[in-house]
Amino acid sequence: MSAAIASRIDEARLWERHMSIARHGATAAGGVNRQALSPEEASARREVTGWASALGLKASTDAAGNFFLRLEGTDPSAAPVLTGSHLDSQPTGGKFDGVYGVLAGLESVEAMIAAKVRPRRSIEIVAWMNEEGSRFVPGMMGSAAFAGAMPLEEILGIRDAAGVSVAEGLAAMKQACPEVPERALGGPVKAYVEAHIEQGPILEREGFTIGIVTGIQGKRTFRVTVTGEEAHAGTSLRRDRKDALLAATQMVQALVAVMHDAEDVVKFTVGRFTVQPNAPSVVPSSVVFSIDLRHPDSAVLQSLGDRIPEICAAQAGPCEVKSEKLTTSMSLEFPPAMRQLIGACAERVGVRSMEILSAAGHDARYLHTVCPTGMIFVPCKDGISHNEAESATASDLADGARVLAEALLELSRD
């Protein structure tokens, strides 16, 4: 019976749906800009809802703006099996990051319906709110709220660069999708499986179609604020200056030196650098920069992160510096039973699989605290992601969906 499900996965349909969703927020360079709770994300949700409704799935949303499509099982009172990912993107994102998990979930359910298999447990496809964390910081907000890892009130008050709050974004989403009923936040979940492109080069390089994700690399984020003093670029003496930009660049150089490891395992990124007043003839008075630090070993991650304030302070010169810890997510390991299940499903489908650590964060991180969780990776071209050139093959996407469909069916049986 199970093989019948995998054989119902329609490679062409799955591919066409990716191309169709990519129209919402399409960029000239072939990528997407579909940030959290934007009109583009709303129209993408409406399109997915259209496909799901035709299959008899019921849409709903919760107070954190997570979006669900439910296939009712034969035992509606049993805790559902969840699958999905996200529909939001980075400002210069690609067609597959996040979208794949949602569409592979939908394709899995469509395959079950086509095979006339009704699972005992309901299956819910979910698009989590603001996974990317580019419009609203931090990312993975919706899944964090669902898991109770972050208070809803705190999330609702967070504002984007234009001053729009998450609460206002949610209201706009509600207005754009008025027919979607609201459900309670959180609730029991039997299991969660997330399909995603790898966003790295390993599967392609090693020649495997399926990555059985062993866990997620830990990550700490920081915000460093350097405060100096504005001065005239022509008249102020060097010795009197409190140049915040100069101090900040020295901090970044000192941090890079400390974070440098011969094995190239530490991931250290300063992705945002904001200079005030940002005028060519004014000595900068303030710089705020971000730090994203990752390492698979939680102890190393902890100790490297703990050194950031002292390293910055040592480079401050005449300026003042404040280092704030924003988020800490230690490395995690998915349960062996979920990994074995995904491996067995890959074998049944007849595709090569290997174990792989996720170097990127995913909503599965928070679901891991709620229920047995696993992830399925498929290759992406040259490991390129968070980039408009992001690409994957229709055949790999379909194989991933086949493995997902088998896993979902198995989980929804007991």
CB of 194 to Zn ion, least distance (A): 9
Angle at 20 between CA 16 and CA 21, to 5 degrees: 120
CB of 206 to Zn ion, least distance (A): 21
What are the CA-CA distances from residue 113 to residues 81, 116, 120, 211, 307 (Å)?
16, 5, 13, 26, 54
- Closest residue by Cα to residue 353 from 215, 208, 214: 208
Q: Kindly state whether residue 139 participates in binding Zn ion, applying the rule CB under 5 A.
A: no
Using the contact rule CB under 5 A, the part of the chain among 98-106, 316-324, 369-377, 405-413 near Zn ion is 98-106
Nearer to Zn ion, 139 or 169 (CB): 139
Q: Kindly state whether residue 97 participates in binding Zn ion, applying the rule CB under 5 A.
A: yes
Using the contact rule CB under 5 A, the part of the chain among 92-100, 141-149, 150-158, 341-349 near Zn ion is 92-100
Using the contact rule CB under 5 A, the part of the chain among 12-20, 91-99, 171-179, 331-339 near Zn ion is 91-99
Radius of gyration of the chain (CA): 23
Using the contact rule CB under 5 A, the part of the chain among 71-79, 96-104, 308-316, 398-406 near Zn ion is 96-104
Q: Report 320-379 residues binding Zn ion (CB under 5 A).
A: none
End-to-end Cα spacing for the chain: 16
User: Which residues, in sequence order, are CB contacts of 314 under 8 Å at separation 6+?
Assistant: 254
CB of 362 to Zn ion, least distance (A): 6
Could you give the residue ranges of the DSSP H alpha helices within 82-201? 99-114, 141-147, 152-157, 166-176
Q: Which residue is nearest to Zn ion (CB)?
A: 98
CB of 365 to Zn ion, least distance (A): 11
Q: Kindly state whether residue 198 participates in binding Zn ion, applying the rule CB under 5 A.
A: no
CB of 377 to Zn ion, least distance (A): 11
Helix (H, G, I), strand (E, B) or coil at 289: strand
Q: Kindly state whether residue 98 participates in binding Zn ion, applying the rule CB under 5 A.
A: yes
Q: Is the peptide bond before 335 cis (omega within 30 degrees of 0)?
A: no
- What are the two backbone dihedrals, phi and then psi, of residue 395, each rounded to the nearest 5 degrees? -70, -40
Which residues form the interface with Zn ion (CB under 5 A)? 97-98
